[in-house]
Amino acid sequence: MALSAADKRALRTGISVGIAVAAYGVSFGALSVAAGLDIWQTCFLSLVLFSGGSQFAVIGIIASGGAAAGIPAIASSTFLALRNGIYSMRVAPIVGDGPWWRRIVAAQLTIDESTAVAIAQDEKSAQKVGFWTTGIAIYIGWNLATFAGALLGNLVGDVNKFGLDAVAAAAFVGLLWPRLKQLQAAAVAMVAAVLATILIPFTPPGVPVLAAAVVALVFGLTNWLHREPAAQVQPDDASEPLDTPGFHPGHEGAAS
């Protein structure tokens, strides 16, 4: 079956996004080995968990707290992965009905990027192409890159001397930065960062991350600082003709 022009655009977008995102897997693999996991544990984590933010959270907490930080690490990654469950409500109509195994695969591939590429398409068929292409490209690329990074980290040894210990934090900042355009998102990030910084010296590893997640929940449930866009007042053609002084089509408030 031939692909339409919209399908081909979605295919190209999915592949390009997949290649770009997969590059993060190298840093995850190297940092995971540095945190104490071996190569196969690192690869298994990528194969099963497959959520970049959650994976970085797990190894970050394990690196700072060892095996005793297992429960906080799992709790933190779960908080971060809850968004994927919300994405599934939007993605389900795109994936459509099918055999049980396809729904399981779709659930595993429902991540930030596959959802974003899918809903950015106008046509239903292109949405499906975008979702599956992006999800599959990232899954394959991320796991191959994780393996390569784990091998690199294992050969390098102490990654701190190369500055790779800062990659996890940099990856988080990279994921967070584009989302700080709204006042509420910026406020959540600031309050959560301050709270986590205060708690770090006094609490076990993982607790500051959980506390920061609670801040996001409080802001979200109470809708603090969220501003609805002001309604645009459309001029009444009957009461204000186009040649009225001061009214110029194309300026703010002009009829579209």
Average pLDDT value for the chain: 75
Asked whether 69 and 61 are in contact (CB, 8 A), the reply is yes
Task: Identify which of 214, 255, 212 has the alpha carbon closest to the alpha carbon of residue 232.
Answer: 255
Which pLDDT tens digit goes with each residue over 100-140? 899 999 999 998 889 989 988 989 999 999 999 999 999 99
For tokens 């979702």, the residue is: 131
Lowest pLDDT segment from 113-122, 127-136, 169-178, 187-196: 169-178
Question: Phi and psi dihedrals of 50, rounded to 5?
Answer: 45, 60
Which pLDDT tens digit goes with each residue over 197-240? 888 788 766 677 677 777 877 877 777 666 544 444 444 444 44
**DSSP character for 225?**
T
